[in-house]
Amino acid sequence: MTESNPENERRNQSESETTTGSGGRDKLDTTTAIPEQSETLRALLIEDNPGDARLIEEMLRDTEELAQRVSSSESAEQTPEIIRESRLADGLETFEQSAVDVVLLDLNLPDSQGLETLETVSEASDTTPIVVLTGLRDQQVGIQAIQQGAQDFLVKDEVTSELLVRTIHHAIERARQEHERRRQREQLEAINRLNDIGHDIIHAVITTETRAELEQRVCDRLTASDGYRFAWIGEVNPGSDDIVPKAAAGVENGYLEAVEISADEGEPTGQGPAGTAIRTGTVQVANNVDSDPEFEPWREEAESRGYRSSASIPIIHEDLIYGVLNVYSSSPRAFTAPETQILARIGDTIAHAITAIERRDALVSDAVIELEFRLEEMVPELVALTDTESWTISIKQLIRGDEALLAYGTAQDISQEAFEEAIERSEGVTAVRFLSVKRDEFEFELVIPAAASLFEAIATHGGRVESATIADSEFRFVVELPRGRDTRQMIELIKDHRDDATYLAQRTTERSERDDSGSGGSGAGRRMMGVLEDDLTEKQRAALETAYFAGYFDWPRESTGEEIADRLGIAPATFNQHLRTAERKFFDSALGE
């Protein structure tokens, strides 16, 4: 039965229970609890008079009532354990090394006199109840001792076994109640402080213009109060699963440079609160950095900077994972259940704000995200053509037909015969047509059934293959995503479909930078893209794009309507209907105003 000794308190505080979080996932419970009692009541008696000490010991040994009063366990041992020391220094040493429930203290010891003795013991722990032992002439001193923090006092010449048991019981119970009141008061103060922080963050959401500014202001506000020592926001690096910092504030001292944190469950650095929060979508808490096993990879670095507990709050909106907010405190078990609920709401607020910022930016900007990949086993016969020669094959457009993928591109410095022979050896390409042939290059159309499922999956998840290139013995392609989409999800999707896929790079690009006509950034250019992406059906867009890249609009025509319909797997009349409808929508947008 222990709640007094600091070492014992730290040991009990490190024990974490689990409760079911949102979505049925487990998250760490953060409810602060008074340390559980052991089955044996332990009393530290600091008394230099052998006769008085023996009398107290005999009174406690003879009673069977004390343990039953103090402990709620039916299996509690009936005889209290008494540890006796005759000097204050020895008593303090024992107090530091052993967990005790109550201290019986004589104020006049060989190495300490009067109320200074009480002050010294009280400083060792403010949670362990102290009962002062006095002589008949020192009753006034006993009263002063209560005023200075002792739970009670006993006059040695008047003490009886019943009085001793009752006094110890009441002292322990009062100390426990005081501890609970103090805990509740501190929790209320923490909740009020966090609510104030939440209101300030909501104000920051309204007034900030960029995501970077918002994330920095969140970290600054969290660490502006005394409640939190350090805060940072990180996001997952799409290519490596590493969680990289985006904003930080507070006592950092190189912590983020010294540690590695991952979202990969298979890595030791991915099993901590931050990685688990991203994977589960629930707040994760390390109640005690000193002992919680999930904090093992970072314990030394965290302890050296005074971090004793931490909370990791996922920043997620619908299926978009923006990152994780990490908050550190200098106190163990600093994050109670009510606090984590408020922090979870703050995480939701940040996620909604980032979504709003991304959508606002998308309305006024042509910026898109590009993800570049390499495929090791895609059309190896064409890739082999670039092994020894400085030949380049560029695919400018990929269009999904009913059963295959149509690829339109150009080949530079490659003979038409070598290109056609490579296609004939290839199992992934079923047909080739040459649309135009010049001296140093030619345009072609390929039918690639093997790649249809991959590019179908990319389109289903909001992406499009912007281009592909075969050069220097590599097949590379670029996937375009709207800003704000979860790039990590797209990377995982492509790797799931192709074992030979390697993620290479991510970049943000303005559409106008890639527009050869220079009109991509104009109002007319944005209207054209809006028609293409929003107004046309999938079949209308496929008909229009195939007609354009197959040379249907050239003069003389590179492809007839029948040839294009055959490639798309539809009747010529159906192709003509889709094409005319798409043309009318484009003309309405361009000329209707």
pLDDT in tens, 240-276: 788 999 999 998 888 999 999 998 888 888 889 999 9
Q: How far is CA 396 from CA 145, 421, 469, 521, 559, in A?
A: 88, 22, 9, 20, 17
pLDDT in tens, 58-86: 888 766 566 555 554 443 456 778 888 88
Who has greater pLDDT, 210 or 521? 210
Rounded Cα distance, 175 and 504, in Å:
62
- Pull the structure tokens for residue 285: 């808490």
Give the gyration radius of the chain's Cα atoms. 37
Interacting residues of 585 by C-beta distance below 8 A, sequence separation 6+: 531, 535, 536, 540
Interacting residues of 305 by C-beta distance below 8 A, sequence separation 6+: 229, 230, 251, 252, 253, 255
Would you say how long the chain is, in residues?
Answer: 593
Other CB atoms within a 10 A radius of the CB of residue 36 amount to 11
Q: What share of the chain is helix, strand, coil (3-state, %, to 5)?
A: 45, 25, 30
Rounded Cα distance, 66 and 82, in Å:
13
pLDDT higher than threshold 90 for residue 24: no
pLDDT higher than threshold 90 for residue 486: no
Rounded Cα distance, 245 and 230, in Å:
13
pLDDT reported for residue 508: 81
Q: Which of 279-283, 450-454, 466-470, 503-507 has the lowest mean pLDDT?
A: 450-454
Q: Which residues pair with 240 in a beta bridge?
A: none
With contact defined as beta carbons under 8 Å apart, do 153 and 132 qualify? yes
With contact defined as beta carbons under 8 Å apart, do 455 and 405 qualify? yes
Q: Per-residue confidence at 534, pLDDT binned at 50, 70, 90?
A: low
The burial of 365, by beta-carbon neighbours within 10 Å (0-12 exposed, 13-18 middle, 19 or more buried), is given as: middle
pLDDT reported for residue 19: 33
pLDDT in tens, 74-128: 434 567 788 888 898 888 888 888 788 889 888 889 998 888 888 888 888 777 8
Q: Which amino acid is at 347?
A: G
- Fill in the DSSP letter of residue 404: S
CA nearest 445: which of 558, 538, 367, 540? 558
pLDDT reported for residue 18: 33
CA nearest 191: which of 406, 63, 31? 31
pLDDT in tens, 204-213: 767 777 888 8
pLDDT higher than threshold 90 for residue 150: no
Rounded Cα distance, 155 and 134, in Å:
5
Who has greater pLDDT, 154 or 188? 154
pLDDT higher than threshold 90 for residue 10: no
Rounded Cα distance, 265 and 276, in Å:
8
pLDDT reported for residue 68: 57
Q: What domains can be seen in the chain, in order of their start residue?
A: 37-178 (3.40.50.2300), 208-364 (3.30.450.40), 366-509 (no CATH), 515-593 (1.10.10.10)
pLDDT reported for residue 531: 61
User: What average pLDDT does this structure show over 385-414?
Assistant: 83
Interacting residues of 503 by C-beta distance below 8 A, sequence separation 6+: 238, 239, 371, 372, 373, 491, 494, 495
pLDDT reported for residue 39: 60
Q: Per-residue confidence at 394, pLDDT binned at 50, 70, 90?
A: very high
Rounded Cα distance, 5 and 14, in Å:
14
pLDDT in tens, 432-456: 889 888 878 899 999 888 788 888 8
Q: Per-residue confidence at 475, pLDDT binned at 50, 70, 90?
A: very high
